[in-house]
Amino acid sequence: MDAQTTPLTQRPQWQSLLRHRDAIKTTQLRDLFAADPQRGERLTAEAAGLYLDYSKQRVNDDTLRLLRELADACGLRARIDAMFRGDRINTTENRAVLHVALRAPAGEKILLDGHDVVADVQAVLDRMASFSERVRSGNWKGHTGKPIRNIVNIGIGGSDLGPVMAFEALRHYSRRDMNFRFVSNVDATDFVEATHDLDAAETLFVICSKTFTTLETLTNAHAARSWCLKVLGEDETDANGAIAKHFVAVSTNADGVKKFGIDTANMFEFWDWVGGRYSMDSAIGLSTMLAIGAQNFRAMLAGFRAMDEHFRSEPLERNLPALMGLLAVWNNNFLGAEAVAVLPYAQYLKRFPAYLQQLTMESNGKHVMLNGTHVDYSTCPIFWGEPGTNGQHSFYQLIHQGTRLIPCDFIGFCQGLNPLGNQHDLLMANVFAQSEALAFGKTPDQVRAEGTPPALVPHRVCEGNRPSNTILAERLDPQTLGALVALYEHAVFVQGVVWNIDSFDQWGVELGKQLAKTTAAEIASKDEPKLAHDSSTNALIRRYRQLRDDATSGKA
């Protein structure tokens, strides 16, 4: 067996890491810091405006070297090159993975089957910019001649989480005289609540769907169409005019868009080489551009690009995504951490953990390798989080004193965007206090020295040795957000390379979508449907139909 075909856990580099883990098992972060007074400055790296402090990870120089050797053995460099070159690295869907082309500057060429995709990207960006300008300036008029004041993005998964996260993250830079709403759930409540106070004559719907076949999105788009036409005219001439003024689409499926009734002149294109969860910087970001303007959107792309360049060219020792990806492998596969907490200390990043959940878990929540054989190691950990300081008063208890190891990513900014007294200093004091408390804890001696009654000492002890990264940036602006998202995108890629999985497909999501179609038909059926599920599913469907029908017929 050569290096490329040797199973991951049998590679010498993996075996060395296992032996190394056993050798340093009892070493505490306290010991590591005591042995090296420079550690807090040494184990850091900086790029694209982001400063990463990984000194509070349970690693020493040998760990880092061994992790780099593992990355080399897994062919990380070659895989990075393959992605940037446009190779079809999403093998199960036979697709290139070229989100990096979305932020390549005009003039650069990335050829896919001999065709320059950067030119296509730039052409769409220019169309988005001129459309956004027309809407933002009031020159794009609704059907009754009123300017647009409300933007409603309809999409789900990758066509929602990125746009809503980016809007919230960059709200400070957004048009305050316009409303931005996001509808994703097929639960009608989402649509009804998002539109209840809006005037259809001033509302523009952005229907985002890569495939334009997604049940939730098409259902909500049809609801939007009816809602709009109720106010703006039901006859065909009026309907055509109203749809043209109040609906635009973002999709790869021009036929689907046409079939829905949106003129393809009002469609913004993207391509099958952009994965849904990697699409917030494509035309899927149209709502973001409408909110913050084309210039800010371009600044965000520049941030993405700066991190791309860094990832592509920087040696692994100083490469932020490589370091974060490899440290995640270390925590997951060698220290047994089954979850990661993402803790942005910025209220504007309140949707960032939800966004990252999809990016990380849909990408790397896989049970087979590229060749289809089962992995014999764990892949993606569970990601969750909340903006600080809120999480501190809730689940941080488990992180400090629970029985599980939960590595944390703290994200903070040196300048607050809304200066109010010393509140930003207080916010950041909590970042530093939390990571310090997690790493160094409080020993029984320290607890006793505070005069704690002996029976309470064990309860008050915090063992420490709980690892974290801290990511610091100057301030949350479009450029920084781009760099931050690209950092995580590439860190996810690094983990996928080590685990030898396809980080760009999502077959697990497909099964539920298929089953829902059959079940929806059974639930809708006028006659008693013939159910052929398991006994639990059959009984649940019957009970639902019964209680629903009783309620509608007034029997309940």
Q: Check if 450 is active-site.
A: no
Q: Which residues contact 38 (CB under 8 A, 6 or more apart)?
A: none
> In Å, what is the CA distance from 131 to each residue of 200, 219, 229, 254, 354?
19, 26, 23, 18, 29
Distance CA 354, CA 270 (A): 23
Q: Report CA dihedral (297, 273, 278, 125) to the nearest 10 degrees.
A: 10
Q: How far is the CB of 383 from ligand G6Q (least distance, A)?
A: 15
Tokens of 136: 């933002």
| Contact flag: residue 156 with ligand G6Q (CB under 6 A) | yes
Q: CA–CA separation, 184 vs 206, rounded Å?
A: 12
Examine the residue annotation and report whether 362 is marked as an active-site residue of this protein: yes
Q: Is 185 left (phi over 0), alpha (psi -120 to 50) or beta?
A: beta
Nearer to ligand G6Q, 52 or 221 (CB): 221
Is residue 152 within 8 Å of 181, Cβ to Cβ? yes
Query: Does the footprint of ligand G6Q cover residue 366 (CB under 6 A)?
Result: no
What number of other Cβ atoms are within 10 A of residue 527's Cβ?
Answer: 5
x/- string (CB under 6 A) for ligand G6Q, residues 44-73?
Answer: ------------------------------
Minimum CB separation of residue 296 from ligand G6Q in Å reads: 24
Nearer to ligand G6Q, 280 or 340 (CB): 280
* Beta-ladder partners of 442: 462
Give 276 or 325: the residue with its C-beta nearer to ligand G6Q.
276
Would you state the structure tokens that stand for residue 252, as one six-digit string? 């790869």
Of all residues in the chain, what percent are helix, strand and coil, respectively (each to 5)? 55, 10, 35
Number of residues engaging ligand G6Q in binding (CB under 6 A): 14
Strand (E) or helix (H) holding 308: helix 294-313
* Dist CA 232 CA 242 (whole Å): 6
Residue number closest to ligand G6Q, CB atom:
157
Q: How far is CA 122 from CA 14, 110, 298, 407, in A?
A: 43, 12, 11, 39
Q: Is 513 labeled as catalytic in the residue annotation? A: yes
Q: How far is the CB of 509 from ligand G6Q (least distance, A)?
A: 6
Cβ-based nearer residue to ligand G6Q, 217 or 389 = 217
Q: Does residue 491 bind ligand G6Q (CB under 6 A)?
A: no
Q: Which stretch binds ligand G6Q (CB under 6 A): 123-131, 155-163, 260-268, 286-294?
A: 155-163
Q: Give dist(CA 250, CA 356) in Å, integer.
A: 22
Does position 217 bind ligand G6Q by CB under 6 A?
A: yes
Site for ligand G6Q (CB under 6 A): which residue of 362, 386, 477, 522? 362
**Min separation Cβ 504 and ligand G6Q, Å:** 8
Residues 158-187 binding ligand G6Q (CB under 6 A) are: 158-159
Q: Do 376 and 9 touch, CB atoms closer than 8 A?
A: yes
- x-marked contacts with ligand G6Q along 111-150 as a string, rule CB under 6 A: ----------------------------------------
Answer yes or no: are the C-beta atoms of 226 and 243 closer than 8 Å: no
Nearer CB in complex with ligand G6Q: 434/503? 503
Least distance (Å) between residue 496 CB and ligand G6Q:
14
**Residue 7: how many other CB atoms lie within 10 Å:** 14
Residue 267: its H or E element? strand 267-269
Contact set for ligand G6Q, span 498-527 (CB under 6 A): 506
Least gap, CB of 58 to ligand G6Q (angstroms): 32
Q: Quick one: which of 214, 287, 468, 500 contacts ligand G6Q (CB under 6 A)?
A: 214
- Please state the φ and ψ torsions of residue 168, each to the nearest 5 degrees: -65, -45
* Binding segment toward ligand G6Q, per CB under 6 A, in 152-160, 192-200, 226-234, 484-492: 152-160
List binders of ligand G6Q among 252-281 (CB under 6 A). 275-277
In angstroms, the CA 355 to CA 366 distance is 18
List 210, 245, 424, 466, residue binding ligand G6Q (CB under 6 A): 210
Please identify which of the residues 374, 393, 459, 530 carries the catalytic annotation. Answer: 393
* Part of the chain binding ligand G6Q (CB under 6 A), chosen from 6-14, 89-97, 154-162, 398-406: 154-162
Considering the rule CB under 6 A, would residue 496 count as an interface residue with ligand G6Q? Answer: no
CB atoms within 10 A of CB 124: 18
How far the first Cα of the chain sits from its last, in Å, is: 68
Those residues whose C-beta lies under 8 Å from the C-beta of residue 209, and which sit 6 or more positions away, are 155, 159, 217, 218, 249, 250, 251, 253, 256
Judged by CB under 6 A, the residue of 122, 174, 179, 211 near ligand G6Q is 211
Catalytic member of 115, 230, 259, 513: 513
- For ligand G6Q, the closer of residues 160 and 477 by Cβ is 160
Q: How far is the CB of 157 from ligand G6Q (least distance, A)?
A: 2
Confirm or reject binding of residue 157 to ligand G6Q (CB under 6 A). Answer: yes
- Catalytic entry in 168, 216, 269, 362: 362
Q: Does 209 bind ligand G6Q (CB under 6 A)?
A: yes
Q: Which amino acid, residue 329?
A: V
Q: What is the DSSP letter of 362?
A: I
List residues near ligand G6Q by CB under 6 A. Answer: 156-159, 209-211, 214, 217, 275-277, 362, 506
| Active site residue ranges | 362, 393, 513
